[in-house]
Amino acid sequence: MIGLKRIFVTLAMALGLTFGLTFAAHAIAPGEALNDPQLETRARALSAELRCLVCQNQSIDDSDADLARDLRQLVRGRLQAGETDDEIRTAVVARYGEFVLFRPQFGGHTFLLWMTPLIILLLGGFWAHRLLRNPPSKPVE
Amino acid sequence: MIAEIGHFVLVMAFGVALVQAFIPLWALYRGQSYGRDLAKRAAQLQVILLAISFAALTYGFLRSDFSLLIVYANSHEAKPWIYKFAGVWGNHEGSMLLWTLILAAYGAFFAQRAVALPDRFATMVLVVQGWLGSAFLAFLLFTSNPFARLLPAPFAGRGLTPILQDPALAAHPPLLYAGYVGFSMSFAFAIAVLTTDQPSRDWAKWMRPWILAAWIFLTLGIALGSFWAYYELGWGGFWFWDPVENASLMPWLSGTALLHSALVAERRDTLKRWTLLLAILTFSLSLAGTFLVRSGVLTSVHAFANDPERGIFILAILALFTGGALALYGRYLPRLSEDRSFAPVSREGLLLANNIFLAAATMTVFIGTIYPLVLDALDLGKISVGAPYFNTVFGPLTLPFIILLPLGPLLTWQAGRLIAPLNALLIAALASLLLVLGLWITQAGVPLIALLLIGGAVWLSLGALADLAQRLRPYGWQLVRQPWRLPATAFSAPLAHAGLAIMIIGVIAASMWQSETVVAAKAGETMEVAGRQLRFDGVREVEGPNYQAEQGQISYLSRPHQGKVLLPERRFYQAERGQTTEAAITSDISGHLYAVIGEAVAEKRVLRLWFHPLVALIWIGALLMALGGGFALRARMSKTGQGAA
């Protein structure tokens, strides 16, 4: 199943399809969900942020791989034990590395990633300011 | 034999492209006048040759000629003919041939229609098209020959990946490529403006219809791809922020910026330099997307290093054209004068803000897509950048954009007064604020940014309505008596902006309020999904043209579809040894009920049922945007009289 997914994704890329159509993905199986709706909502939100490490760009919430299921159970177990979202993230990162997070933590190595939108907006604002302040430019020969 | 003809004319097309690329340039340089005519004839001949080549490949696919390597690798006798046909571009080589054919078609169409443009300018546009054609034909012939033989020919092909065997395959890639490649025209225009010393600002007027055409195709292509993913993937996701998707979103965002800045450059003698830069960058992003998708660099930096030939070739094309164009830009920019100034509060001012936000959005997608690759290549660690990152960043970026947007069309050029639009939009502002407040009180647990975006979208759609009213006011009674006589321009921007608003509402509603039920059910069992009573009737075997399927049946016991049945399938493709999930979807005014059958568990069957509220608005919004673009294109064509130019 996982092999097939790979083949498919490679093919889709070879095709230049815009869509990373992965093999029909449905993750959560009957009985997996927690009874407490609030905890379950948190579990889904957390699962959507965690990468399935053996899949092609899928979260553990979308994947039916064994590893993804184990991780889903781990997340739900820790939620039931009363841990906070951040504690669970930290625990998962400690085990699998930062690669597992689909939303990287802010830090030196991700500074540009998080700051680019702001930098562009500031540069744009600065440029607009100059454009509007300066007298109309004359042709230069 | 037919394949050899296809290969032969492909080589001829390469020769013709080289002629188109260099000889008219020489004529321009020497000041001789035959250049334009030669370039025109070369462009026309090129499209004819490529069409023959494409037809030859299509023939190979339709006849299942397995002595052709790519037919063997991607096709099968038992496939329905439509997938044999669409399979022509269901692989790397064939899709690159389609890409080149579309490029040549744009060039020939330009050569045919642009009679009114000055000689030097039109020649230069065709020369640039010739450069691009030569580069991509070289890429095809030297690294991706679609007519490579496989001898002795196998008896059966390996088939087409089942998930691609869908009618959408016939339309999605061609639409997308018509969009990507369409931006080669504004790129060629920019080079021609820079190198032929255009005294007038008319070039922005000439460029606009080509930008519009490319933008409309790209909008439709992306929307169709999103819809395809929605119904095919089996759980109703419509956008995954996958790098392959981002590759198409980048030129779309920057093309949208280009569309608006060209409007300023055309109407007012300003932002011309920025428009030219955007024209260059938008096509560069199309090329970068092609590189990302084709080189395998996305799967991993290391996969790319293993088989680098094609990737390096495209990277070289990308570097050559982007680098070369930017060098020309730096060299010839001082020639361009920008004469008129404008106040911050004016239509230009707001369009400038639009461009800054779109540039930030484009860069966000770009950085988010390549950041993990760069970090990995530099050995600085492995990180993932996925949907949660993009959603986090795009919310705050979209909100001010759509709040500012309705003001632009209601302001006058050069220097406007805020009081007029604010008067017109007072009710819109109050209505959207009240809506946000109401949602905030009733919808606990939904992030505030999502509610604000819904409010913003309502404000935007009411703003589009105010814009439409303003545009139609001068026509008075004609509105009722002869509505078909109304100018197309009156509808373009309001439709496109309303489309964006509707799409945002669909995205937020489908993301925030979807509900999901996963059950293991016996035949005859009933269940409830989003207030709808359903009964699972059981599963039967169904025979398709080239697959076997398990078909589940689920009946509605309650309104709005009482008596209707849902027939989701799981299909098994013998030849390809693969399977797909075909969701069953029923739609009503409030949203889609989306049903999928899963595996059997003892006596029971796993059923996954979703309710996706208002999800159809996403694609309706996209269609409205494209329709708005269509009105603008129509207005432009009838105004200039000579069509494309």
Query: How many helices and strands in chain A, by DSSP H and E?
Result: 5, 0
pTM of the complete model: 0.92
Boundary of a domain, candidates B137, B165, B193: B165
CB contact under 8 A, B360 and A120: yes
Q: Which residues of A touch B235 (CB under 8 A)?
A: 25-26, 62
CB contact under 8 A, A128 and B248: no
Taking the Cβ of residue B643 and every Cβ of chain A, the question of whether any pair is shorter than 8 Å is answered with: no
In a domain, A7, yes or no: no
Tell me the CB-side half-sphere exposure of residue A100, using CA atoms within 13 A.
21
pLDDT of residue A21: 38
In a domain, A11, yes or no: no
In a domain, B32, yes or no: yes
Taking the Cβ of residue B168 and every Cβ of chain A, the question of whether any pair is shorter than 8 Å is answered with: no
In terms of domains, do A91 and A125 share one? no
In a domain, A19, yes or no: no
In a domain, A79, yes or no: yes
The DSSP string of B388-401 is HHHHHHHHHHHHHH
Q: Which residues of B touch A26 (CB under 8 A)?
A: 234-235, 581, 596, 598, 608
In terms of domains, do A38 and A95 share one? yes
Dist. CA B18–CA B62, nearest whole Å: 31
Q: What is the tally of structural domains in chain B?
A: 2
In a domain, B528, yes or no: yes
CATH value at residue A67: 1.10.8.640
Q: Is the pLDDT of residue A131 over 90?
A: no
Which of A99, A101, A124 minimises the CB distance to B359? Answer: A124
Taking the Cβ of residue B199 and every Cβ of chain A, the question of whether any pair is shorter than 8 Å is answered with: no
In a domain, A9, yes or no: no
In a domain, B329, yes or no: no
Q: Could you tell me if A61 and A27 are in contact, meaning their C-beta atoms sit under 8 angstroms apart?
A: yes
Burial class (CB in 10 A: 0-12, 13-18, 19+), A106: exposed
Residue A69's domain comprises 25-102
Nearest to B71 by CA among B57, B83, B50: B57
Q: Which residues of A touch B233 (CB under 8 A)?
A: 21-22, 24-25
Better pLDDT: B513 or A20 = B513
In terms of domains, do A69 and A122 share one? no
Which of B176, B235, B352 minimises the CB distance to A26? Answer: B235
In a domain, A38, yes or no: yes
Residue B534's domain comprises 515-617
Q: Which residues of A touch B393 (CB under 8 A)?
A: 114, 117
Taking the Cβ of residue B581 and every Cβ of chain A, the question of whether any pair is shorter than 8 Å is answered with: yes
Dist. CA A53–CA A29, nearest whole Å: 19
In terms of domains, do A111 and A98 share one? no
Dist. CA B597–CA B608, nearest whole Å: 6
Which residues, numbered 493 to 532 in chain B, qualify as contacts with chain A under a Cβ-Cβ cut-off of 8 Å? 518-520
pLDDT of residue B641: 41
In terms of domains, do A88 and A117 share one? no
Q: Could you tell me if B274 and B261 are in contact, meaning their C-beta atoms sit under 8 angstroms apart?
A: yes
CB atoms within 10 A of CB B418: 11
Dist. CA B413–CA B348, nearest whole Å: 6
Q: Report CA-CA distances (Å) from B355 to B105, B322, B336, B350.
A: 30, 20, 20, 9
Q: Report CA-CA distances (Å) from B361 to A69, B159, B246, B355.
A: 34, 39, 11, 10
In a domain, B99, yes or no: yes
CB contact under 8 A, A48 and B388: yes
CB contact under 8 A, A19 and B518: no
- Is the preceding peptide bond at B560 cis, omega within 30 degrees of 0? yes
Dist. CA B282–CA A102, nearest whole Å: 28
Which of B163, B386, B518 minimises the CB distance to A8? Answer: B163
CB contact under 8 A, A102 and B387: yes
Q: Is the pLDDT of residue A9 over 60?
A: no
Mutation for testing the A interface, residue in B74, B383, B401, B519 having most A CBs under 10 Å:
B383
Nearest to A51 by CA among A103, A109, A4, A113: A103
In terms of domains, do A30 and A90 share one? yes
CB contact under 8 A, B384 and A23: no
Nearest to A33 by CA among B516, B514, B592, B525: B516
In terms of domains, do A62 and A123 share one? no
pLDDT of residue B299: 62
Q: Which residues of A touch B290 (CB under 8 A)?
A: 16
Q: What are phi and psi of B561, to 5 degrees?
A: -120, 30
Which residues, numbered 227 to 246 in chain B, qualify as contacts with chain A under a Cβ-Cβ cut-off of 8 Å? 228-229, 232-235, 237, 240, 242-245
Which of B349, B386, B397 minimises the CB distance to A51? Answer: B386
CB contact under 8 A, B240 and A57: yes
In a domain, A89, yes or no: yes
CB contact under 8 A, B581 and A24: yes
CATH value at residue B52: 1.20.120
Taking the Cβ of residue B298 and every Cβ of chain A, the question of whether any pair is shorter than 8 Å is answered with: yes
Which of B89, B337, B580 minimises the CB distance to A24? Answer: B580
In terms of domains, do A83 and A44 share one? yes
In terms of domains, do A97 and A126 share one? no
In terms of domains, do A86 and A120 share one? no
In terms of domains, do A74 and A114 share one? no
Dist. CA B517–CA B236, nearest whole Å: 13
In a domain, B633, yes or no: no
Q: In a 3-state reduction of DSSP, which class is residue B601? A: strand
Tell me the CB-side half-sphere exposure of residue B439, using CA atoms within 13 A.
22
Residues of chain B with pLDDT under 70: 198-200, 296, 298-307, 339-340, 638-645
Q: Which residues of B touch A17 (CB under 8 A)?
A: 164, 172-173, 225, 244
In a domain, B330, yes or no: no
In a domain, B481, yes or no: no
Dist. CA B364–CA B354, nearest whole Å: 15
CB contact under 8 A, B244 and A20: yes
Nearest to B630 by CA among B642, B622, B619, B618: B622
Which of B293, B380, B393 minimises the CB distance to A117? Answer: B393
Tell me the pLDDT tens digit for each residue of B587-615. 888 999 999 998 888 888 999 999 999 99
Which of B161, B225, B232 minimises the CB distance to A18? Answer: B225
Taking the Cβ of residue B395 and every Cβ of chain A, the question of whether any pair is shorter than 8 Å is answered with: no
CB contact under 8 A, A117 and B339: no
CB contact under 8 A, A13 and B176: no
Closest approach of B329 to chain A, Cα-based (Å): 15
- State both tokens at B603: 């006596």
Split at pLDDT 50, 70, 90, the class of A26 is low
CB contact under 8 A, A62 and B601: no
In terms of domains, do A114 and A64 share one? no
Q: What is the tally of structural domains in chain A?
A: 2
